[in-house]
Structure 1
Amino acid sequence: MADEKAALLNSAKNRAFARSVSHAQDELQGFRTWLKWLCVDQSNPWTTALSWFVFVGFAIVVPALSHFVLACADCDSLHSRPYDAVAQLSLSGIAALSFVCLSGFVRKYGLRRFLFFDKLCDESETVRKGYTKQFNRSMKLLFIFVLPCFAAESAYKIWWYSSGGTRIPFLGNVIVSNTVACILELCSWFYRTVVFFLVCVLFRLICYLQILRLQDFAQVFQVDSDVESVLREHLRIRRHLRIISHRYRSFILLALIFITASQFASLLMTTRSSDVNIYHSGELAVCSLSLLAGLLILLRSATRITHKAQAVTCLAAKWHVCATIDSFDTAETETPVARVSDEQIFTGSSDGSSDLDDVGDEEDELDNSKFLPAYAFSTISFQKRQALVTYFENNRAGITIYGFMLDRTSLHTIFGIELSLVLWLLGKTIGIS
């Protein structure tokens, strides 16, 4: 009977693992198709060579030709581009960083392992469904960020070329030359922005998986779980968070430094010029907004998962307190009438049912003010619960950059600096103050 049960368990485990093994019709099929269309797929030598060729063309050659060849030296005041160099360098630099990091991730770990699909066989069905759903909408989220910026950039480029910004008939005809140059510039801008936002959205997707796991992990405090199983699961989550931090720490740090330097350079150039308006610096404003949006995706995703991971400490402490209160209540038998009345007042005021309308959706499984049911804690000793809470207090998990925790305090500081820079830049370029 035991052998038969073990065989059934092994069979179920093998079936669960089979859904995470890569094959032609797996969950990544549609995503790989998008990568091929975006020319960033590196699944074989041919697509790798094509992706590097497109990268060199759209991220280096086209911006260089646009700046040095298509620049209009004798244009009027509306069509001069004094800030084109900093805009092109900012986009090309962040695109190069994103492309190199994405290529390294895929080459070193593989797409399935990089996105943690090989670990889904160890997760619950709730985590699998939630992660798959979020994965399927990741490309939609990518274009939600890219398309508005691309529309603004397209409007600016079309106006610049159609109103006589350049008159270099390198194809023998001014209209055809301007049309081809405008399309190439827009394709270059779209490609560089998509590569940057793709890495940011993939980081957000990976962090979302860990949030689902933490929310699923929070359920162990609602049932009769032993301390060892809780500790093992938390150690597994912390190990995955360290893996994510190690993989992305260089990209996040370099992106933060590069974008901040780009904002400072933009501000330096705009403050030194006395003639700054939307015609001269509209492209610079769109570039700055795009870079800042991608940076906020990275920081918000890291901060959110750090907050969820640290909320486990509060949940464990509340679990320990509720279990301790219940153990004392069951041990005391004196003055039962007074104790029951106290329990009714205590439960009614702490349950939070009267405040549910005020709370709304601001509380979740990891961060709420509700008491935990105490019926499941009779089998766990006080010493074990205290040891677990002490472990959580001294082993806070989260996304780190070379030991520096990305929490809400760091997010507020970075966001304040970057927002001040971009608002100052927008005030100098398009008149927002």
Structure 2
Amino acid sequence: MPFFGSLDFIKKKVMAIQTEQPLPTHTNTPFLTSNSNQNQHHQPHENNNNEESETALDDVLARLEALLTLLCFKQSSLWSFTASWTAFAAVGVAAPMVALQVYDTDKNQIKGFEIGIVAFQTCLAAVSLICLSHNLRKYGLTRFLFVDRHAAQMPCFHHDYVKQISGSFRLIILWVLSCFLLKTAREITRLSLVEEGSLWLSVAVLMALIVSWTYVSAISLSACVLFHLVCSLQLIHFDDYGKLLQRENDELIFMEEHIRLRYHLSKISHRFRIYLLLQFLVVTASQFVTLLQVTGYGGVLTFINGGDFAVSTLVQVAGIIICLHAATKISHRAQGIVSLASRWHALVTCTSEASKLRYCSSTGSLEASNHLNSISLNYSESDLESLDHLGTPSNALLASCMTSHHKRQAYVMYLQTNAGGITIFGWTVDRSLVNTIFFFELTLVTFVLSKTIL
């Protein structure tokens, strides 16, 4: 009889399966058609947006490259190399030296003060021109800025790239115009206060000094702004990396993306470390000599004979501040990823623990916890038997949770030991290095004042 009962059961199951109606295949067709129509409708619109963003990016890169070519940074061929350095030697070196020799008088002390100022300003511009032109000649502008198609990867960054490059382009023009107006006001004031024999000669000297000063200041400040632009473009990817922790949940993807970002930071540090170090040394030496000349001068220091000290100091310190601001900002952003990852790890861990608690509570885990706490105190058989029906998490679930926890912990430990940032021969440019530079400069100023005034 059990055998015939089982046969009846099997017949009933077969008849039930045969009587089931299969799902109509055409029901999915309208959804597929509508989705395909929507994709076909939106795909040309997205392609148009991508083409427009790429066109805007190409246009702003072309404008930036034209400006850098005008400032003699582009030296891709022998002819452009010769033309760039010839223009620099004529406008940046020969013109001011000839003007100072012609315009030399005992009243305004131009030759005694301004030769050193012109020498250091020209040296700073030469350092900027050498370092930046070498990198641009070696990598090209798009690879140098990490905005080529292999580095950009996603067209969603193109709008941010255009915004940052346009802002840097306007910043260069603003600083160059400010230097031009500042130097023009200083030279016109001096020309109106100093009596000279020939007016045309004075105007020619004034124009030579203004053009030369604006040219060398534009070169040095453009190099600083270009470094700031490179760091600002990487900040876009660091901001997106912070959002990646909210979108993804794969530690391997996080590590691969962070390795790529850290590789870019190491490339930036390698390309700019000589420039940053030489710029700091030249500016420090210039300020040292300036302070020594000002404090050691026995006569009356006026706007006529000492005005260029203020102008040169403003330009040099502004360039240093631009570079330090960009380097420290991206270093702090890279170090801040560690805190974001640690918070993400804590939230995911707490959430997983809460989910396990909810899973256990659905099968009576709250009672199980009370019983488990009372086992050590009461060993009655009824308490032990009451635990048999409780649905505790399986070993596979616990192993999966522990494996995910270990992966997240390894990822956080990796970030703690590989934070990254802009480095100069191993020294990370952050707040601690800025404090060290400040106290070094303060010690140098105190030393000069002790030798000249006290």
Q: TM-score, normalised by structure 1?
A: 0.76
- Return closer, same or farther for 1:423/1:179 CA change in 2, 3 Å cut-off: farther
Measure, in 2, the Cα distance between the counterparts of 1:392 and 1:16: 36
- Return closer, same or farther for 1:280/1:56 CA change in 2, 3 Å cut-off: same
Q: Contact 1:20–1:117 (CA<8 Å) still a contact in 2? A: no
1:27-38 superposed matches below 5 A: 27-38=60-71
Q: 1:110 aligns with which of 136, 140, 153?
A: 140
The corresponding residue for 2:340 is 315
- Return closer, same or farther for 1:58/1:300 CA change in 2, 3 Å cut-off: same
Give the superposition deviation at 1:302.
0.4
Q: Contact 1:42–1:48 (CA<8 Å) still a contact in 2? A: yes
Measure, in 2, the Cα distance between the counterparts of 1:234 and 1:220: 11
Give the superposition deviation at 1:121.
5.6
Measure, in 1, the Cα distance between the counterparts of 2:51 and 2:436: 45
Measure, in 1, the Cα distance between the counterparts of 2:407 and 2:246: 17
Q: Contact 1:313–1:389 (CA<8 Å) still a contact in 2? A: yes
The corresponding residue for 1:396 is 419
Larger radius of gyration: 2
Measure, in 2, the Cα distance between the counterparts of 1:399 and 1:39: 27
- Return closer, same or farther for 1:380/1:15 CA change in 2, 3 Å cut-off: farther
Q: 2:406 aligns with which of 383, 394, 400?
A: 383
Give the superposition deviation at 1:67.
3.2
AA aligned to 1:413 is: T
Structure 2 residues not aligned, in runs of 5+: 1-46, 368-399, 449-454
Measure, in 1, the Cα distance between the counterparts of 2:236 and 2:280: 27
- Return closer, same or farther for 1:379/1:191 CA change in 2, 3 Å cut-off: farther
Query: Do structure 1's residue 213 and structure 2's residue 237 form an aligned pair?
Result: yes
1:34-433 superposed matches below 5 A: 34-72=67-105, 75-76=106-107, 78=108, 80=110, 82-119=112-149, 122-164=152-194, 166-167=196-197, 174-275=198-299, 276-332=301-357, 333=361, 381-415=404-438, 418=441
Measure, in 2, the Cα distance between the counterparts of 1:138 and 1:108: 22
Over the matched positions of the two proteins, sequence identity in percent amounts to 33
Q: Contact 1:306–1:398 (CA<8 Å) still a contact in 2? A: yes
Task: Give the 3-state SS of the residue equivalent to 2:148 in structure 1.
Answer: helix
Q: Contact 1:58–1:188 (CA<8 Å) still a contact in 2? A: yes
Task: Give the 3-state SS of the residue equivalent to 1:308 in structure 2.
Answer: helix
Measure, in 1, the Cα distance between the counterparts of 2:259 and 2:79: 41
- Return closer, same or farther for 1:185/1:380 CA change in 2, 3 Å cut-off: farther
Give the superposition deviation at 1:127.
2.4
Q: Contact 2:175–2:218 (CA<8 Å) still a contact in 1? A: no
Q: Contact 1:242–1:399 (CA<8 Å) still a contact in 2? A: yes
AA aligned to 1:401 is: I
Give the superposition deviation at 1:178.
1.5
AA aligned to 1:313 is: V
Q: TM-score, normalised by structure 2?
A: 0.73
- Return closer, same or farther for 1:133/1:378 CA change in 2, 3 Å cut-off: farther
Name whichever of 143-152 and 257-266 sits farther off.
143-152
AA aligned to 2:216 is: R
Tell me the C-alpha RMSD between the 2 structures.
3.5
- Return closer, same or farther for 1:401/1:15 CA change in 2, 3 Å cut-off: farther
Give the superposition deviation at 1:177.
1.6
Give the superposition deviation at 1:219.
1.4
- Return closer, same or farther for 1:295/1:181 CA change in 2, 3 Å cut-off: same
Measure, in 1, the Cα distance between the counterparts of 2:132 and 2:346: 46
Q: Contact 1:79–1:160 (CA<8 Å) still a contact in 2? A: no
Measure, in 2, the Cα distance between the counterparts of 1:80 and 1:25: 46
- Return closer, same or farther for 1:120/1:213 CA change in 2, 3 Å cut-off: farther
Q: Contact 2:220–2:319 (CA<8 Å) still a contact in 1? A: yes
Measure, in 1, the Cα distance between the counterparts of 2:257 and 2:50: 19
Question: Where is the helix percentage greater, Structure 1 or Structure 2?
Answer: 2
Measure, in 1, the Cα distance between the counterparts of 2:269 and 2:343: 28
Measure, in 2, the Cα distance between the counterparts of 1:155 and 1:228: 59
Name whichever of 145-154 and 257-266 sits farther off.
145-154
Task: Give the 3-state SS of the residue equivalent to 1:82 in structure 2.
Answer: helix
- Return closer, same or farther for 1:379/1:148 CA change in 2, 3 Å cut-off: farther
Task: Give the 3-state SS of the residue equivalent to 1:96 in structure 2.
Answer: helix
- Return closer, same or farther for 1:25/1:408 CA change in 2, 3 Å cut-off: closer
Q: Contact 1:302–1:407 (CA<8 Å) still a contact in 2? A: yes
Task: Give the 3-state SS of the residue equivalent to 1:137 in structure 2.
Answer: helix
Q: Contact 2:96–2:118 (CA<8 Å) still a contact in 1? A: yes
Q: Contact 1:60–1:92 (CA<8 Å) still a contact in 2? A: yes
Give the superposition deviation at 1:131.
1.5
Q: Contact 1:310–1:398 (CA<8 Å) still a contact in 2? A: yes
Q: Contact 2:146–2:152 (CA<8 Å) still a contact in 1? A: no
- Return closer, same or farther for 1:417/1:140 CA change in 2, 3 Å cut-off: farther
Q: Contact 1:135–1:205 (CA<8 Å) still a contact in 2? A: yes
- Residues 247-280 of structure 1 show CA distances to partners (whole Å, capped at 9, x for unaligned) of 0000001111111111111111111113323222
